[in-house]
Structure 1
Amino acid sequence: MTATTRTAPHPPARRLTRPPARGPRRGRRLWGLVTFLSLGVVGYAVVVYFGFDPSRSTVELREDVPWHYAVLMGHIVTAAVALAVGPLQLSRRIRAHRRVHRWIGRTYLFAGVLPSVVFGVPAAILSTQGAGAAAGLLVGDVAWGVTAVVAYRAARQRRYRDHARWMVRNFALTFAAVTFRVWLPLLILAQVPLLESVHGGDFDALFTVAYTATCWLAFLPNLAVVMLIQRRQGVPSR
């Protein structure tokens, strides 16, 4: 008789499964946060400025310019449209429906961004917080308008990838309405210990410094972060 050897059966092969992708989930969470914050600022603007009462304006008005409040309100109302509609443009589900996406985009640009820039330029020039604040507001408005025009031209020329890139950059500037309200209180609080030593107890001077810095910080970091992310993703800066 010959001895037979039995080999132990091989364990069943395990199927290698990839962990669930985190990118789309993170993207949805980020989109939800951006939408929530954007609508929060829109709601704030409605509460404060509903009724068109100049006495409730949180922006100091020039008494020597009777139409200051009118251009300010035009800027705020149209900016609120852009801020409310803008997050919809970032939704992949909505972008999949081209006709809906196109009409939302037109509303965003022609009822929101572009008229808001037109109103925002004189409103920036009329700022009572000094030349530094006025310059920051003016540069932000011009950049907002330029990115909108570049994005629109790319869409008209069917350069849809360029259009998408510039629209994201444009919304980063739209989102300045949110980040402005984050930076301003932070910069005020950061200077409170310096109120006596630096500003001589003058809170108005402290506020002017914070407001001027906020006029620049509200949009420059937003745009820089978006362009840095796009660069890492291989998106050209043009």
Structure 2
Amino acid sequence: MNKIGNKIAWFLFAFLAIGVSLYPILYGYLAYIDVEEALRSRKTAELLADVFWNTGFYTHISFGGLALLVGWVQFSKRFRNANLKRHRLIGKIYMIAVGISGLAGLYIAFYATGGVIAKLGFGSLAVIWLYTTFKGYQTIRNGDIQKHEIYMIYSYAACFAAVTLRIWLPMLSTAFGGFIPAYRIVAWLCWVPNMIFAYFWVRRKSLATV
């Protein structure tokens, strides 16, 4: 039963990661039709006309989607053992994507809807995502596979916030009767529980603490 449960959990994990990672493609297509119509209710006209914000926004969701799409497969021990070269290649793609998306995300966090609470939430997420990914790179360069694994678990937990945000936001918007209060909460709720889960996962796997 435990094996069946693990397979179901793995399937949901992969399904959600792939499904949400493809969201930027659809969003990008719709954006060509009418960007302002999609964002008008949440962003000012001045911000929508800002080339830097638009560049940061589309860079963030595009490369973030790429990181989400390729990152989940790295957790398959069978895949790692059978395809070490591919594991390394995908790891490089993931880290580059995180670096680009994370920096763009940190920039657009300053313009997050919902005021200081939302800005701090998404800004903290971007910093943690960048930091854990950098440490993952640093530790594998130093040959410390165990710590590399730990940092990459935390990194993808931060990356998976893209999924949990889309799960929580509709429910919270309904519960609170509005987008703004829900968005302030989800700015933290989309990633803090993920990091807590990652912490206990690391402990369960009996990996060294960092």
TM value normalised by structure 2: 0.89
Per the alignment, residue 140 of structure 1 pairs with 125
Q: Aligned pair in 2 of structure 1 residues 116, 157: CA closer, same or farther (>3 Å)?
A: same
In the TM superposition, residue 58 of structure 1 has moved relative to its aligned partner by: 4.7
CA contact 1:184–1:211 (8 Å) conserved in 2: yes
CA contact 2:70–2:90 (8 Å) conserved in 1: yes
Deviation track 1:159-202 (CA, whole Å, cap 9, x = no partner) reads 1111111111111111000000111112122224xxxxxxxxxx
Q: Aligned pair in 2 of structure 1 residues 57, 82: CA closer, same or farther (>3 Å)?
A: farther
C-alpha distance in 2 between matches for 1:58 and 1:94: 40
Deviation track 1:119-167 (CA, whole Å, cap 9, x = no partner) reads 1111110123211111100000000000001111111011111111111
The range that moved more, 183-192 or 208-217, is 183-192
CA contact 1:31–1:91 (8 Å) conserved in 2: no
Q: What amino acid does structure 2 have at the position aligned with 1:209?
A: P
Deviation track 1:52-102 (CA, whole Å, cap 9, x = no partner) reads 432354583443341211110000100010010011111222211211100
Q: What amino acid does structure 2 have at the position aligned with 1:142?
A: V
Unaligned residue ranges in structure 1 (runs of 5+) = 1-20, 193-205
What is the RMSD of the two structures over their aligned residues, measured on CA atoms?
1.9
Q: What amino acid does structure 2 have at the position aligned with 1:107?
A: I
In the TM superposition, residue 235 of structure 1 has moved relative to its aligned partner by: 2.5
C-alpha distance in 2 between matches for 1:92 and 1:27: 14
Name whichever structure is richer in helix by fraction: 2
Q: What amino acid does structure 2 have at the position aligned with 1:89?
A: Q
Matched, 1:223 2:195: yes
SS at match of 2:22: helix
Q: What amino acid does structure 2 have at the position aligned with 1:37?
A: L
Matched, 1:159 2:159: no
Q: How many residues align?
A: 203
Matched, 1:168 2:153: yes
SS at match of 1:88: helix
In the TM superposition, residue 35 of structure 1 has moved relative to its aligned partner by: 1.1
Q: What amino acid does structure 1 have at the position aligned with 2:23?
A: Y
> In the alignment, which of 55, 64, 77 is matched to residue 46 of structure 2?
64
Q: Aligned pair in 2 of structure 1 residues 57, 75: CA closer, same or farther (>3 Å)?
A: farther
In the TM superposition, residue 44 of structure 1 has moved relative to its aligned partner by: 2.6
Per the alignment, residue 99 of structure 1 pairs with 85
Per the alignment, residue 16 of structure 2 pairs with 37
Matched, 1:211 2:183: yes
> In the alignment, which of 160, 165, 169 is matched to residue 184 of structure 1?
169
Q: What amino acid does structure 2 have at the position aligned with 1:49?
A: G
C-alpha distance in 1 between matches for 2:85 and 2:144: 17
Q: What amino acid does structure 1 have at the position aligned with 2:36?
A: S
Larger radius of gyration: 1
CA contact 2:67–2:94 (8 Å) conserved in 1: yes
C-alpha distance in 2 between matches for 1:191 and 1:51: 28
Matches within 5 A, 1:44-123: 44-50=23-29, 52-53=31-32, 54-55=35-36, 57-58=38-39, 60-65=42-47, 66-67=50-51, 68-96=53-81, 97-110=83-96, 112-123=97-108
In the TM superposition, residue 49 of structure 1 has moved relative to its aligned partner by: 1.8
Quote the sequence identity (%).
Answer: 29
TM value normalised by structure 1: 0.79
C-alpha distance in 1 between matches for 2:205 and 2:80: 20
